């Protein structure tokens, strides 16, 4: 039987075949998709179809899903929420939910995002919901946020100054320590703020370092891959300088391209100051050790002159050496920078606190002035105990007073020793080593001659000298030289 096929029938057959193939492809996608797909009746809001992934996600068999509303399978809070969603869907044609909580049949908690679209299917309104499980993404995002929070906390609370620059060297971020380190707060992302937020930079040798030649510039330019323990000096707006050790690492993208660098700098200014002070102390100890031996030699030579019994000369020598030792003790308390007048007096008169009255302000003598002052104070005390106000057992007093008059470079240091209620004073007929200390060395080291008055009612000794020449911080800080003790006097005579 001959069956002829007309063109209309051929077109209809091709259309049916194409439609069938399209349906098969859609069904395969529908069933193989790794996102959930639900088809609902737009009027009843009930599920008419769902793909296998939706069953896997919710824990319901396919037949259990059919005929249920979204709220019944844990996608919406309740029926009212479902009605509200469908009203919005009817109004706009699309509804999107992000971070929507989902509870499976077994009670497992998941997070999903849903996109629902309304469309016409052969005159019937249907709704398609695409459901994506974002639980792992949300967990990853949460872990990332927690990691960033920990990093930010460490970034802000760490003891080091930390900052980052982009590939052009423009400062992008920095912590509080960095602003303290720089003494200023640069603008993030400002093209004028490049490589370092400090006002100026210097090399360890003190030479000026332009910002575009600093360690950060080396790294972001590719000149060096990283910087380890490089020492730099930064200057703050107030003029103060801070020494720091910097360590810098590059930041790279997935392709290995440098996108910037991060700098971690820690302040070593205090450490450098300690090192410098230690260096100073070592030098001072070496210098003072040699000079002190020379001073001791001269004191020994002048004290053991052979003009008096050996036992007496030996006692005199021991007392003078002890006075010298006390001056060194006072100097050590202040790191050899100097010694307080009050401390020198206290050490000399510890056993005469009830008969020696001392009063005056805090004055820090430089090392040379302190040593000379301690020795002359010992000579005054020795004379007072042998011949003056402290030689009597039942009475006698020494009043010591010092003061500062004037200001700055014109300031004067005034010292007064006054003996009272002692035996009548006799003017000495000869001069010795004690006189050398009280007159010549005091005049030389204090820059002004002292005044000695042998009044019948008590000896007085006064100094009126330039304060800057005597106090710590002045240039005259060397120890006494041995030649100061051995210089011949025109009227020399046996030592006191």
What's 447's DSSP letter? Answer: S
State residue 174's pLDDT score: 93
Question: Are the C-beta atoms of 232 and 179 separated by less than 8 Å?
Answer: no
Average pLDDT over residues 230-243: 94
> Measured in whole angstroms, how far is the alpha carbon of residue 299 from the centre of its chain?
50
State residue 33's pLDDT score: 79
Cα–Cα dist 15/454, whole Å: 139
Q: What share of the chain is helix, strand, coil (3-state, %, to 5)?
A: 40, 25, 30
Pairing of strands 356-359, 339-340: unpaired
Say yes or no: 263 and 279 in one domain. Answer: no
Looking at 246, 267, 288, which one is the last position of a domain? 267
Instruction: Give backbone dihedrals phi and psi of 285, rounded to 5 degrees, phi first.
Output: -65, -45
Q: Is residue 295 part of a domain?
A: yes
Task: Give me the number of domains the chain comprises.
Answer: 3
State residue 487's pLDDT score: 34
Say yes or no: 49 and 80 in one domain. Answer: yes
How confident is the model over 151-173, as pLDDT tens digits?
777 777 778 899 999 999 999 99
| Whole-number CA gyration radius for the chain | 48
Cα–Cα dist 442/465, whole Å: 10
Say yes or no: 212 and 310 in one domain. Answer: no
Give the structural domain span for 110.
15-137
CA distances in angstroms from 435 to 248, 380, 494, listed in the order given? 66, 10, 10
Cα–Cα dist 153/147, whole Å: 10
CATH, residue 133: 3.30.450.20
Looking at 250, 267, 284, which one is the last position of a domain? 267
Say yes or no: 479 and 332 in one domain. Answer: yes
Say yes or no: 205 and 301 in one domain. Answer: no
> In what helix (H) or strand (E) does residue 328 lie, and over which residues does it extend?
helix 310-333
Find the range with the poorest average confidence among 142-146, 347-351, 421-425, 457-461. Answer: 347-351
Residue 490 pLDDT class (50, 70, 90 cuts):
very low
Residue 230 pLDDT class (50, 70, 90 cuts):
very high
Looking at 204, 238, 267, which one is the last position of a domain? 267
Find the range with the poorest average confidence among 77-86, 127-136, 310-319. Answer: 77-86
Q: Is residue 151 part of a domain?
A: no
Find the range with the poorest average confidence among 61-75, 208-222, 421-435. Answer: 421-435
DSSP secondary structure of 100-139: EEEE-TT--EEEEEEEEEEEEETTEEEEEEEEEE-HHHHH
Residue 415 pLDDT class (50, 70, 90 cuts):
very high
Q: Is residue 168 part of a domain?
A: yes
> In what helix (H) or strand (E) does residue 358 lie, and over which residues does it extend?
strand 356-359
State residue 77's pLDDT score: 64
Higher-confidence residue of 124 and 413: namely 413
State residue 92's pLDDT score: 81
CATH, residue 384: 3.30.565.10
Higher-confidence residue of 63 and 382: namely 63
Cα–Cα dist 172/481, whole Å: 60
Nearest Cα neighbor of 434 from 335, 306, 299, 337 is 299
Cα–Cα dist 244/224, whole Å: 19
Give me the chain's average pLDDT, please.
Answer: 80
Q: Is residue 25 part of a domain?
A: yes
How confident is the model over 327-377, as pLDDT tens digits?
666 565 555 567 888 888 887 776 555 788 899 998 888 877 887 888 788
Contacts of 279 (CB under 8 A, 6+ apart): none
Average pLDDT over residues 234-256: 93
Nearest Cα neighbor of 369 from 270, 448, 459, 253 is 448
Give 151: exposed, middle or buried? Use CB within 10 Å, 0-12, 13-18, 19+.
exposed
What's 211's DSSP letter? Answer: G
Strand-pairing partners, residue 124, are: 121
> Helices (H) and strands (E) in the chain — how many of each?
15, 19
Asked whether the predicted pLDDT for residue 290 surpasses 60, the reply is: no
Strand-pairing partners, residue 334, are: none
Share of the chain above pLDDT 90, in %: 28
Residue 233 pLDDT class (50, 70, 90 cuts):
very high
State residue 404's pLDDT score: 92
State residue 492's pLDDT score: 31
Higher-confidence residue of 313 and 165: namely 165
Say yes or no: 201 and 306 in one domain. Answer: no
Asked whether the predicted pLDDT for residue 59 surpasses 80, the reply is: yes
Q: What is the dihedral of CA 430, 435, 436, 439, to 10 degrees?
A: -120
Say yes or no: 303 and 443 in one domain. Answer: yes
Say yes or no: 338 and 462 in one domain. Answer: yes
Task: Extract the tokens encoding 67.
Answer: 């005929």
Asked whether the predicted pLDDT for residue 496 surpasses 90, the reply is: no
Average pLDDT over residues 442-449: 84
pTM of the model: 0.47
Q: Is residue 491 part of a domain?
A: no
Q: Is residue 145 part of a domain?
A: no
State residue 494's pLDDT score: 31
3-state secondary structure at position 9: helix
State residue 324's pLDDT score: 65
DSSP secondary structure of 72-107: GGTSSSSHHHHHHHHHHHHHHSEEEEEEEEEE-TT-
Asked whether the predicted pLDDT for residue 100 surpasses 60, the reply is: yes
Cα–Cα dist 161/264, whole Å: 6
């Amino acid at each position: 039987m001959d069956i002829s096929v007309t063109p209309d029938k051929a077109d209809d057959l091709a259309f049916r075949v194409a439609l069938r193939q399209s349906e098969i492809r859609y069904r395969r996608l529908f069933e193989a998709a790794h996102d959930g797909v639900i088809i609902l009746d737009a009027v009843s809001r009930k599920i008419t179809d769902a793909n296998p992934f939706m069953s896997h996600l919710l824990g319901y068999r396919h037949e259990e899903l059919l005929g249920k509303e979204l709220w019944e399978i844990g996608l919406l809070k309740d029926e009212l929420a479902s009605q509200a969603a469908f009203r919005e869907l009817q109004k706009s044609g699309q509804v999107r939910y992000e971070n929507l909580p989902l509870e499976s049949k077994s009670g497992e908690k998941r997070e999903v995002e849903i996109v629902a679209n309304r469309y016409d299917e052969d005159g019937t309104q249907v709704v398609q919901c695409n459901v994506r499980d974002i639980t792992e993404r949300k967990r990853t995002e949460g872990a990332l946020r927690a990691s960033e929070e920990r990093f930010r906390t460490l970034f802000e609370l760490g003891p080091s100054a930390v900052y980052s620059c982009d590939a052009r060297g423009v400062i992008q971020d920095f912590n509080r320590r960095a602003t303290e380190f720089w003494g200023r707060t640069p603008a993030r992302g400002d093209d004028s703020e490049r490589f370092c937020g400090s006002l100026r930079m210097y090399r360890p040798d003190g030479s000026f370092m332009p910002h575009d030649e600093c360690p950060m510039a080396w790294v972001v330019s590719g000149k060096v891959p990283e910087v380890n323990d490089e020492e730099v000096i930064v200057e703050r707006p107030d003029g103060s300088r801070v020494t720091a050790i910097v360590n810098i690492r590059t930041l790279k993208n997935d392709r290995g391209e440098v996108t910037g660098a991060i700098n971690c700098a820690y302040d070593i200014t205090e450490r450098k100051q300690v090192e410098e002070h230690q260096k100073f102390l070592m030098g001072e100890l070496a210098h003072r050790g040699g000079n002190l031996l020379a001073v001791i030699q001269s004191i020994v030579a002048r004290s053991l002159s052979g003009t008096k019994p050996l036992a007496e000369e030996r006692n005199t020598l021991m007392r003078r050496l002890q006075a010298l030792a006390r001056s060194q003790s006072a100097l050590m308390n202040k790191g050899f920078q100097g010694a307080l007048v009050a401390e020198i007096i206290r050490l000399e008169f510890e056993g005469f606190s009830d008969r020696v009255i001392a009063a005056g302000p805090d004055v820090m003598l430089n090392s040379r002035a302190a040593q000379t002052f301690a020795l002359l104070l010992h000579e005054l005390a020795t004379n007072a105990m042998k011949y003056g106000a402290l030689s009597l057992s039942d009475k006698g007093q020494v009043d010591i007073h010092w003061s500062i008059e004037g200001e700055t470079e014109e300031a004067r240091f005034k010292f007064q020793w006054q003996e009272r209620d002692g035996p009548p004073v006799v003017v000495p007929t000869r001069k010795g080593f004690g006189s050398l200390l009280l007159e010549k060395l005091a005049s030389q080291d204090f820059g002004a001659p002292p005044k000695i008055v042998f009044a019948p009612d008590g000896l007085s000794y006064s100094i009126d000298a330039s304060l800057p020449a005597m106090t710590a911080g002045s240039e005259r800080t060397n120890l006494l030289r041995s030649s100061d003790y051995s210089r011949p006097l025109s009227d020399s005579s046996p030592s006191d």
